[in-house]
Amino acid sequence: MRKAEKHVMITAENVLASMKPAERCTLHDIARRVNGAIANVQTVLTECVARRAVRKANAGKRHVYVLVTAEEAAEDAGTPVWSQTILQGYDAANRRFIELCMVARSPVSEDQTVRYGVIGE
């Protein structure tokens, strides 16, 4: 049997130091290199992706992470990062528009039915 391994404190510096530029690493590879729990490494990688220190891409069914080089970081400097609050505001604007359309719609009498957006008798 294997002895219980003690996991170390995972930081962004540890994760970034374990990666090499242009090398595609999976979550499990990085967790193995830094000797950390997968859940902890995943939260640190999420922070690194949000800071644009690491890129996340799909490789089949898994995600791979690539360390961003200085040239790529300079190219990405002008690109905006979409936050979740902006997307929530976009959804709220769509909901308000739908509600406005429903209010502006002509009322339907009790003997009429609505099928496929057409009012008929």
Q: Higher pLDDT residue, 89 or 14?
A: 14
Q: Higher pLDDT residue, 82 or 10?
A: 10
Write down the pLDDT at residue 3: 56
Write down the pLDDT at residue 86: 57
The residue extents of the domains of the chain are 12-79
Write down the pLDDT at residue 120: 52
Indicate the DSSP class of residue 69.
P
At 4-19, the pLDDT tens digits run: 566 678 898 999 999 9
pTM: 0.57
12-79 is a CATH 1.10.10.10 domain: yes
Question: By the 8 A CB rule, do 51 and 81 touch?
Answer: no
Residue 8: beta bridge partners? none
Write down the pLDDT at residue 1: 45
Find the DSSP H helices in 37-115: 38-50, 70-76, 84-104
